[in-house]
Amino acid sequence: MSRYDAPLTDMRFVLFDLLKAEPEFARLGFADATRDVLDAVLEEGARFAREVLAPLNRVGDEIGCTLDSATGEVRTPPGFKEAYAQYVEGGWTGLVTATEHGGQGLPHLVGFPIKEMVDAANLAWGNFPLLSNGAVEALSVYGTEWQREVFLKPLVEGRWTGTMCLTEPHCGSDLGLLRTRAEPRGDGTYSISGTKIFITAGEHDMTDNIVHLVLAKLPDAPAGSRGISLFVVPKFRVAQDGSTGERNTVRCGSLEHKMGIHGSATCVMNFDGAEGYLVGEPHKGLMAMFVMMNTARLAVGLQGLGLSDRAFQNALVYANERLQMRSATGAKFPDKPADPIIVHPDVRRMLLTCKSLVEGGRALAYDAALQYDRFTHGADDAERAEGEALVSFLTPIVKACLTEWSIEVTYDAMQCFGGHGYIHEHGLEQLARDARITTLYEGTTGIQALDLLGRKVFQLKGAGLKLMLGRIRDFCEANGGKAELAGYCSALSELATQWQQLSVELAQRSGENADELGAAAYDYLLFSGYVSLAYWWARSVAALDEAQVQPAFAEGKRATARFYFERILPRTLAHVAAIRSGSASLMTLDAAAFDAGR
Amino acid sequence: MSRYDAPLTDMRFVLFDLLKAEPEFARLGFADATRDVLDAVLEEGARFAREVLAPLNRVGDEIGCTLDSATGEVRTPPGFKEAYAQYVEGGWTGLVTATEHGGQGLPHLVGFPIKEMVDAANLAWGNFPLLSNGAVEALSVYGTEWQREVFLKPLVEGRWTGTMCLTEPHCGSDLGLLRTRAEPRGDGTYSISGTKIFITAGEHDMTDNIVHLVLAKLPDAPAGSRGISLFVVPKFRVAQDGSTGERNTVRCGSLEHKMGIHGSATCVMNFDGAEGYLVGEPHKGLMAMFVMMNTARLAVGLQGLGLSDRAFQNALVYANERLQMRSATGAKFPDKPADPIIVHPDVRRMLLTCKSLVEGGRALAYDAALQYDRFTHGADDAERAEGEALVSFLTPIVKACLTEWSIEVTYDAMQCFGGHGYIHEHGLEQLARDARITTLYEGTTGIQALDLLGRKVFQLKGAGLKLMLGRIRDFCEANGGKAELAGYCSALSELATQWQQLSVELAQRSGENADELGAAAYDYLLFSGYVSLAYWWARSVAALDEAQVQPAFAEGKRATARFYFERILPRTLAHVAAIRSGSASLMTLDAAAFDAGR
């Protein structure tokens, strides 16, 4: 079975040395987020992940969730329910929720490492509390006073969980096609009917009630995505006074059989005239849903990060233990029958690929959390606007790149194990199967790419990009003169210029031919991810000067930064070539001719 | 469930138009390999794959093999045994075996498409007959007269199957460490004792006997890999007259629980003083095992190809059926509620990535088969030497690149399905899980990379590389003047020069620092694969002039070649940068400092 120990040293480095969390939190008014508190939270989160969640990861995979089709009830894997009770008991569910809604009001920058730990320890389990956060955010912004009073408290306390009911059998990315109907009943409530699929935690045995946030169409809805409304539909009806009543007519019809995350209940949910309450204005549901979706997308990025880190940790242990062949430059452990495979350059290539993507990805993701905190708690409008622009720009990058890299990292980690990686015993193959969902749900990588280039760069006139480029240039100006950083800064400056040029080129070309956007989006997204990571690796090296870290830690950062710039960053060359090749090579072939070879 | 129809049109194009199989077979003396015969073989193979094997793919995954631990007997999934009987009945087991050993003596260039079809239809099933070929080859070259008489016929006829027993719990790539012992009994037989793991088809219920080819050490063996001998150890003892007798003391101890290929029996085999017979000379077993391993490596490359092709086929069907959003340039199917997703540039990017890697990979792999046929049937020594040099050079490229690309192709195909790709129903996730073994067994990608650069390029003084570069240059000289091919030839010529330069640079650097080889090997391998594919794409376009193909087929080839050169080939830029960065960024970090962040 694979082990998991949270990377507390690196998490602290990113928080306190790289992102200067202590002065930032003080400045942003998070009075409770002192270093002592944060250290205690991180330590306790690591303990919970290691001792409670990680041991349940394999049983979750092997036994999974089961549906009693007679009753529609779902049983979670052994131990999951008890672990959830402990999680609630520990106060984790409301960690980052505002105190006015019953939460602890800690910064997202603290919630992110906790979320990373939970997902690394047990991704399937982590999906049960996951969407409550989104439901809380949507209800706290768009809910009526009654909805906030009745639903928020139990969600924040973890007594109930939330879901996001978007997808239907015939529509996922294109919600304009959805068919679920909401009929007004005349008493202010609505009757919701339709089938939703891929509903994470749609049904389970962990809590007394489940709060579904459901997209549906009112009878007078305009066609397409401008005619979608949002409803809250509880599993058990809720009276005016908040007391729960009879069972609502929403029921789990089946559980999906999936490649991984077997412990996560992925439900088909049938709404059969279920009682629901309108959230926000009619036909404006998509906007509210985007509030939920954006935090969910960042959360999925963290899932990719967590799985990657765990795969890396285990590959590293194995590479230090597994004895196979001698180092090409002579035996390093002549007293052993062979050298540990970490002496071999190609094994190191894989391990350093993991390390560079994991630790660089952590800095990238946690910075997005800090920008979120600046958005919600910034000192003034200008800072809040800047935080919002940056976090919205970084969201598709974090979501897509950290999940794409989780595919690569779990792949490389398995390769380090050779054939042993393919069998259940070591747990690596489960990490790879679990990781595979992350580039699909909450919007595929292709959807994130369109969001980044089409919406965040083109529609928002590059507000976030300009800020990001400004940060890179400021850093390079301040550090380009230092011997250790000169090379990195010169590469980074060039890439920043290229990033800007590519954005301008693409805006122009897309104006002439609308397919140019979609043709470039994926490679533009990956290019953006690699340049962002280069920025964070250079900043990580720069931060070592003042950081209180062990020499081995500093050595690891310096060597990995070098590896990243020499061996990973050149991938941008291929992405730039693909971006500049335009849409013609994609669009000319007739759909019918794709498979003329069969 | 995923469908599978063999890509007969493309297979015929590669065989007859690209590789000129008809005149080549006539020249090489394959008198029976006429066009009529080959067409019939391909048609029947496609039918068998579609009707018999493909329908068993899912049940093989869901039920898998089961071990009766009381008896050590293994039961294969429902239908597997019956399909094997039909396979034997159809004469497929001896398709490419020499007629002198009871086979049909057809060229490997015919065996390859059949193998591709079998693996695409049902990889797990394909593993049962797979290793019989290697056993036949090892025994026909190194076996005694008695061994050839007794073992070859039932193996070729498929009444028995073969295995390769190499790996032990503590050694896989490093066979010098193996511990299985062979004690001479004084009667010419040996007593074999030890544990072998990851033994494909080590035990099953399809045949009356199983012939294990086992690596073990004699009592007087020199240390390391120069002290390994090869033994044949049948499940049931075989008398002098070839009749089978009592059960030998070799037994399946357990079946591995794997990520995929559940229908393939991956056995722990315990040899407990089992009767065995020495194959070839004492201590020279590794050489004989390499005979088996080389064909097995090409076969695994074909496994990657077959799975990729099936994933591509299914993604294409889905992309033409799934309606989601409108084309950016205006509705293409205004009568439908949305356009099929194949109108979207990013979906096309994924499909064309699949198509370019699959069809290019097919040409690359089938050419290796032709070189193998030239090696065994060449008109003179010079041709046989040339065939040998080329096939041995191409083997690690075919094995590693086609399997690495199968990871990418099954990934992209799943992405086309969105969340639907992650559930069992569509069969895509099974293809991805099955594909995941191919970069691990028969030598990981890292091992193939060392074989290519260390052995095939450095030790063999680049004989195969020179021939390959010569072919590229000849092609470019002959075709560089044609308008359609000028751009491709100019890119190819430059890459050929770079390939040579990199090889020379690396030979020099490795002479100075032995770690430089391992540091560059992986990227050198991928670089070699991408340049080879560029050659085959250019040749595919060139071959269209004289080929009898439909316009849509030709359009598909031309568009995909363009896509490949514009959007995939630039990956060589990143690989060259990594190769030239040298070993320092990999080797300086202390092993203990890799995980100082935890």
Using CA atoms, how far apart are residues B353 and B405, in angstroms rounded to an integer?
A: 10
| Subunit contact A346:B518, Cβ cutoff 8 A | yes
* Check whether domain A161-285 has CATH 3.90.1150.30, yes or no: no
Q: Does B583 touch chain A (CB under 8 A)?
A: yes
Question: Smallest CA–CA separation between A574 and chain B, in Å?
Answer: 5
Compute the CA torsion angle B47, B52, B54, B57 (nearest 10 deg). -170
| Subunit contact B577:A570, Cβ cutoff 8 A | yes
Q: Does A586 touch chain B (CB under 8 A)?
A: yes
Using CA atoms, how far apart are residues B300 and B395, in angstroms rounded to an integer?
A: 10
**CATH annotation of A8-142:** 1.10.540.10
**Nearest residue on chain B to A347, alpha-carbon basis:** B446
CB < 8 Å to B260, chain A: 422
Q: Does B86 touch chain A (CB under 8 A)?
A: no
Using CA atoms, how far apart are residues A391 and A166, in angstroms rounded to an integer?
A: 23
| Subunit contact A556:B324, Cβ cutoff 8 A | no
Other Cβ atoms within 10 Å of A67 Cβ, number: 18
Q: What is the pLDDT of residues A300-346, one digit of tens each?
A: 999 999 999 999 999 999 999 999 999 999 999 999 999 999 999 99
Q: H helices of A443-570, where?
A: 445-450, 463-479, 483-512, 515-543, 551-563
Residue A74 belongs to what H/E stretch? strand A73-75
Residue A332 sits at φ, ψ, to 5 deg, of -95, -25
Q: Does A179 touch chain B (CB under 8 A)?
A: no
Q: Does A339 touch chain B (CB under 8 A)?
A: no
Q: Are B596 and A551 in contact (CB under 8 A)?
A: no
Mutate to test the interface with B, among A198, A262, A349 (most CBs of B within 10 A): A349
Average pLDDT over residues A474-495: 98
| Subunit contact B440:A424, Cβ cutoff 8 A | no
Residue A290 has pLDDT above 90, yes or no: no
Compute the CA torsion angle A160, A164, A170, A171 (nearest 10 deg). 180
| Subunit contact B329:A588, Cβ cutoff 8 A | no
CB < 8 Å to B419, chain A: 167, 172, 198, 437, 440-441
Q: Does B40 touch chain A (CB under 8 A)?
A: no
pLDDT for B338 equals 96
Q: Does A414 touch chain B (CB under 8 A)?
A: yes
Residue A1 has pLDDT above 80, yes or no: no
Helix (H, G, I), strand (E, B) or coil at B273: strand
Using CA atoms, how far apart are residues B434 and B125, in angstroms rounded to an integer?
A: 12
Q: What is the pLDDT of residues A200-233, one digit of tens each?
A: 999 999 999 999 999 999 999 999 889 999 999 9
Which of residues 286 through 325 in chain B touch A, CB cutoff 8 A?
Answer: 313, 316, 320, 323-325
Q: Does A441 touch chain B (CB under 8 A)?
A: yes
Mutate to test the interface with B, among A62, A259, A326, A411 (most CBs of B within 10 A): A259
Catalytic residue numbers of A read: 442
| Subunit contact B515:A345, Cβ cutoff 8 A | yes
Instruction: Please state, in angstroms and as integers, the Cα–Cα distance from residue A134 to each residue in A30, A87, A180, A285, following that order.
Output: 21, 18, 21, 14
pLDDT for A292 equals 83
Average pLDDT over residues A400-427: 97
Closest CB to B174 among A324, A573, A597 = A324
| Subunit contact B13:A583, Cβ cutoff 8 A | no
Closest CB to B591 among A320, A359, A436 = A320
Q: Does A46 touch chain B (CB under 8 A)?
A: no
pLDDT < 50 regions, chain B:
none
CB < 8 Å to B440, chain A: 414-415, 418-419, 421-422
Question: Smallest CA–CA separation between A413 and chain B, in Å?
Answer: 12
DSSP bridge pairs for A184: A190
CB < 8 Å to A259, chain B: 422-424, 429, 432-433
| Subunit contact B13:A439, Cβ cutoff 8 A | no
Residue A173 has pLDDT above 90, yes or no: no
Closest CB to B419 among A316, A343, A441 = A441
| Subunit contact A555:B344, Cβ cutoff 8 A | no
Q: Which two tokens stand for residue A65?
A: 């969730």
Q: Cα-atom radius of gyration of chain A, to the nearest Å?
A: 24
Domain positions in chain A are 8-142, 161-285, 459-583
pLDDT for A225 equals 86
Residue A364 has pLDDT above 90, yes or no: yes
DSSP state of A185: -
Compute the CA torsion angle B468, B473, B474, B477 (nearest 10 deg). 170
Mean pLDDT computed over every residue of chain A? 97
CB < 8 Å to B58, chain A: none
CATH architecture for the domain at B160-289: Beta Barrel (2.40)
Closest CB to B345 among A5, A171, A519 = A519
Mutate to test the interface with A, among B310, B348, B409 (most CBs of A within 10 A): B348
Catalytic residue among B116, B168, B404, B442: B442
DSSP A221-271: PPSGGGGBEEEEEESEEE-TTS-EEEEPSEEEEEE--BSS-TTS-EEEEEE
pLDDT for A445 equals 98
Question: ipTM for the complex?
Answer: 0.97
CB < 8 Å to A338, chain B: 174, 176-177
Residue A291 has pLDDT above 90, yes or no: no
